[in-house]
Amino acid sequence: MLALEFEHRDIDALGRGLSAAGKSIAVKSMARAMQRLTQMARTRIVRESAERTDMPVGKVRAITTAHFNAGSNTIEVIERSGWIPLAKLSPRQTRKGVSVPGRGSYNHAFMAMMKSGHYGVFRRVTGEDMDPRHAKEKYGRSKKQAIRELFGANPAHDVTNNPDEFMKVLAELIETNLMPRYLHELDRMLAEIK
């Protein structure tokens, strides 16, 4: 015959231990769920931004970062960019100008490399002349049309100007995925205990 004796202190200690383990599992599960939600948020923002600005997804993904701060339970998705030069969007010189995949044709534009080594897509600015001293010194004549580099979209600018569109995307993501993801991570944590 086997006899087990438990004292009041043993049962209390066991109860406190199980309670602490349960809280730990819940916190870790939420942290894992929020980490996954961070990556999902980044993906959704990148896709929405790429679609709205007609930019390749890879270009937008390269300028977008996402971080989860467990201490304050916040997710930050950051897009940092300036106006993206057309030269970085695989332009092709044509007879009429320059063609850029996904953005169309730019008539009278040309691709050139400057003496500094900068490569870009440019267009002459009608009605605007270069500084005559600069033109005379560099080209031998005082009248020369100015040129300007052409740029594509600025994804970060789109987010700043249309925050409501991106908030809708994030709100939908949280409503549809937070609880299922938390329960999934909780199941995983409980399965590891067995």
d(CA 100, CA 109): 11
- 1: in domain: no
Domain, as residue range, for 107: 86-149
Say whether both 186 and 131 belong to one domain.
no
Distances (CA, A) of 24 to 6, 29, 31, 62, 189: 26, 8, 11, 35, 10
Say whether both 141 and 185 belong to one domain.
no
Say whether both 163 and 70 belong to one domain.
yes
- Whose tokens are 């890879």? That residue is 58
| pLDDT tens digits along 135-180 | 666 666 666 677 889 998 889 999 899 999 999 998 899 889 888 8
- 3: in domain: no
Question: Where is the domain boundary, 134, 149, 164?
Answer: 149
What domain count does the chain have? 2
Say whether both 16 and 63 belong to one domain.
yes
Confidence of residue 13 (pLDDT cuts 50, 70, 90): low
Say whether both 73 and 161 belong to one domain.
yes
Say whether both 75 and 129 belong to one domain.
no
Say whether both 129 and 170 belong to one domain.
no
Tokens of 169: 């995307």
| pLDDT tens digits along 107-137 | 989 999 988 899 999 998 877 766 666 666 6
For 16-19, the CB contacts below 8 A with 24+ separation are none
Say whether both 78 and 12 belong to one domain.
yes
Say whether both 46 and 137 belong to one domain.
no
- 13: in domain: yes
- 131: in domain: yes
Say whether both 95 and 115 belong to one domain.
yes
- 61: in domain: yes
- 181: in domain: yes
Say whether both 15 and 76 belong to one domain.
yes
Average pLDDT value over all residues in the chain: 83
Say whether both 106 and 63 belong to one domain.
no
Distances (CA, A) of 160 to 79, 103, 164, 172: 10, 22, 9, 19
- 2: in domain: no
Sign of the four-CA dihedral 31, 33, 36, 38? negative
d(CA 48, CA 113): 33
| pLDDT tens digits along 58-68 | 989 999 999 88
- 55: in domain: yes
